[in-house]
């Protein structure tokens, strides 16, 4: 593996999930692979799980780790070609990427969607800018449109918890007071399309995800109907895609409850707003897989870093 920007960089999802589960049983078995190798993590946005799990995975592999909260501490980056930089930007992505490449062997980037301009967000200028000008492999720790490390952790979690060969998986929109990006939902849909599963997406009208990503998926606007006989229920908020970045409404009837969940396993990437997205009883109950998902973030990124280290 040369880079990990999206799930398309994976040769075989089932094989990678199997390898990650094996790695989990013996996390230090490849600790010589990263000796004298450094990973640099650049965060343009906040994080708990991604930051700590990536650091832990790199340490398991014997790597050294550099971390910078670029969004708060770095120079404001310019992305335009030929720009006369006499306004607010201080450093061009060309210099930033080339310089950071001198300090590390792998570069990991987190840069969320701004949700102000669909075209800008879909251009993925931070992730693609570093990919274009860096001379080391680049890993996506959540970009404007994708969170592939989360989707890989979710695939590992479902593989470990499924009780039938073809489970029913439901992705359910939930209310939220703030406008949130589409990255987690996009990557979850892309990952499920690589699985043997019955899959239904449910949300209120107006919250349709990018149709290029959901193409071929069943969309059911009646949440109760979608949840019938579900084995896994993945809950996530996202803002409108067609009315880009807008919160159309916060219908609390869409919050996930124990009653609605039935016998299904509950999944969410975290962080989650209790009693807005999902009620306490679900998160505190035995059907919640959220802590397992967070634990599997370590092994999703560790298997990716291992594959990249092997290709250096
Ligand atoms: N799920 C996830 O990416 O969590 P953080 O935003 O805390 O990293």
Summarize the annotated binding site for carbamoyl phosphate as residue ranges. 47-50, 75, 110, 147-150, 269-270, 297
What domains lie within the chain, and their CATH numbers? Answer: 7-146+296-311 (3.40.50.1370), 148-293 (3.40.50.1370)
Ligand 1 center to 142 CA (angstroms)? 9
In 3D, which of 64, 102, 94, 63 has the Cα closest to residue 78?
94
Look up the ipTM and state it: 0.99
Binding site feature residues for N(2)-succinyl-L-ornithine: 142, 176, 236, 273
Residue 82 CA to ligand 1 center (angstroms) comes to 35
Strands (E) across the chain are located at: 38-43, 64-68, 77-78, 91-92, 106-110, 138-140, 168-173, 198-202, 218-220, 232-236, 265-267
Name which residue sits closest to atom 1 of ligand 1, judged by CA: 269
Which residues line ligand 1 at a C-beta cut-off of 6 Å?
Answer: 47-50, 142, 150, 269-271
Q: In what order do the strands lie in the sheet with 106-110?
A: 64-68, 38-43, 106-110, 138-140
Ligand 1 midpoint to CA 87 (Å): 33
Q: Using CA atoms, how far apart are residues 215 and 212, in angstroms rounded to an integer?
A: 5
Token pair in block for residue 138: 């680049």
Nearest Cα to Cα of residue 50 among 171, 139, 181:
139
pTM value?
0.98
List the end-to-end C-alpha distance of the chain, in Å, as a whole number.
Answer: 9
Question: Which atom of ligand 1 is the closest one to the Cα of 45?
Answer: 6
C-alpha–C-alpha distance, residues 230 and 192, integer Å: 14
Mean pLDDT, 10 residues at a time, the chain of 312 residues: 97 97 98 98 98 98 98 95 96 98 98 97 97 98 98 98 98 97 98 97 98 98 98 98 95 97 98 98 98 98 98 97
Which among 55, 108, 237, 297 is the best mutation to test ligand 1's pocket, defined by most ligand atoms within 8 Å of the CB? 297
């Amino acid at each position: 593996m040369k880079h990990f920007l999206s799930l398309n960089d994976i040769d075989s999802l089932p094989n990678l999930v199997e390898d990650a589960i094996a790695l989990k049983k013996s996390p230090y078995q490849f600790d010589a692979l990263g000796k004298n190798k450094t990973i640099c993590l650049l965060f343009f946005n906040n994080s708990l799980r991604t930051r700590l799990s990536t650091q832990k995975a790199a340490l398991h592999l014997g790597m050294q780790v550099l971390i910078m909260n670029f969004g708060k501490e770095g120079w404001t980056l310019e992305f335009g070609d030929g720009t006369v930089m006499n306004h607010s930007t201080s450093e061009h992505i060309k210099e930033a990427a080339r310089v950071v490449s001198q300090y590390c062997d792998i570069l990991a980037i987190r840069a969320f969607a701004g949700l102000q301009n669909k075209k800008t967000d879909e251009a993925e200028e931070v992730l693609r800018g570093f990919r274009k000008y860096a001379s080391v492999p680049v890993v996506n720790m959540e970009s404007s449109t994708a969170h592939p490390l989360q989707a890989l952790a979710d695939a590992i979690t479902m593989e470990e918890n499924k009780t039938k060969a073809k489970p029913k998986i439901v992705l359910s929109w939930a209310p939220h007071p703030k406008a949130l990006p589409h990255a987690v939902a996009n990557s979850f849909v892309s990952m499920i399309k690589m699985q043997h599963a019955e899959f239904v997406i449910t949300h209120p009208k107006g919250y349709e995800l990018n149709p290029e990503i959901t193409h071929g998926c069943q969309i059911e606007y009646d949440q109760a109907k979608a949840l019938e006989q579900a084995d896994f229920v993945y809950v996530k908020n996202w803002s409108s895609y067609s009315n880009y970045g807008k919160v159309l409404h916060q219908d609390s009837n869409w919050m996930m409850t124990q009653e609605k969940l039935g016998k299904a396993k509950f999944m969410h990437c975290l962080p989650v707003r209790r009693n807005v997205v999902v009620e306490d009883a679900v998160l505190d109950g035995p059907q919640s897989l959220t802590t397992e998902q967070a634990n599997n973030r370590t092994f999703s990124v560790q298997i990716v870093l291992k594959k990249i280290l092997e290709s250096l």
